[in-house]
Chain A
């Protein structure tokens, strides 16, 4: 059985259609768009907060979307163990909503970075990575101006102790190296999850590397892992 997927659409989301296409057409899941103004998650098993520039990134990235009417439902769903994946702006929204710890700062370079990056799987025993062999290096694009993940020492210690870091930027060979970190994020962090393991936030865009026509399909590995394990 495949999960029902709900892709939330905020004003300014621009990766919603890519996410919809990946789950609906590539992975053949029952997928719906969920407009941010309603509270109804339409019985979704998986909620995707897509990338984009919700509310024009005004104030801070994700700061206003976090108060969109649908977010109360998303927060309840997540607290009760529902699977939520925030990609790029979606990750920023999860941070602002307090569903994941830490904050997102402007890229260290001050530049908007749009390119393929390499990710190592920091924890292969998660809903999101269970079906990916641990030595795999994923090639997935990033596209953001505020992806410089930051958390204080205590938060980082907790993240590491609980194995909540899911993806880190690395070299094409899989070596952790600051030179391959596109935004200056602390400890090369590209994606983290909550302690319970049902909420993932990541800056790279798996939905942009799902369709073979685009020449890269590593994003499928993450989405397939979720689909295969969400009901376990």
Chain B
């Protein structure tokens, strides 16, 4: 699952990291954004039910829809 802050929301961590790039002598980096990548397992045999559950997990807890967008992929294992 990938959680990204909305483009309109400032990402101070990204900005600070970018300052580090300049200190390193890397000068052409722009628009650094620190996002979140979350992995988890779902114990289910029903893909649609699993998607529903994951969606609820993402929208109610993992991401705050006021400031973040999220997307997820489900892989069968």
Residues of A within 8 A of B9 (CB): 105, 150
Partner-contacting stretch, out of B25-33, B39-47, B58-66, B69-77: B58-66
Are A150 and B61 closer than 8 Å at their CB atoms?
no
In the complex, A107 has a CB within 8 A of chain B:
yes
Residues of B within 8 A of A67 (CB): 61
Interface size class of B (residues with CB under 8 A): 10 to 19
B64 interface neighbour in A96, A106, A108, A110, Cβ under 8 Å: A96
Are A63 and B13 closer than 8 Å at their CB atoms?
no
Are A106 and B61 closer than 8 Å at their CB atoms?
no
Interface size class of A (residues with CB under 8 A): 10 to 19
Residues of B within 8 A of A103 (CB): 64, 66-67
Q: How far is the CA of A102 from the CA of B66 in the complex (A)?
A: 7
Are B64 and A63 closer than 8 Å at their CB atoms?
yes
Could you list which residues of chain A lie within 8 angstroms of chain B, going by C-beta atoms?
A: 59-60, 63-64, 67, 96, 102-103, 105-110, 150
Q: For the complex of A and B, list the 10 residue pairs with the smallest distance between their C-beta atoms, beginning with the closest.
A: A103-B67, A103-B66, A110-B12, A106-B12, A110-B16, A60-B64, A108-B12, A103-B64, A63-B61, A106-B13
Could you list which residues of chain B lie within 8 angstroms of chain A, going by C-beta atoms?
A: 9-10, 12-13, 16, 61-62, 64, 66-67
New A-B contacts (14) at CB < 8 Å, excluding given A63-B61, A105-B67: A59-B61, A64-B61, A103-B66, A103-B67, A105-B9, A105-B10, A105-B12, A106-B12, A108-B12, A109-B12, A110-B12, A110-B16, A150-B9, A150-B67
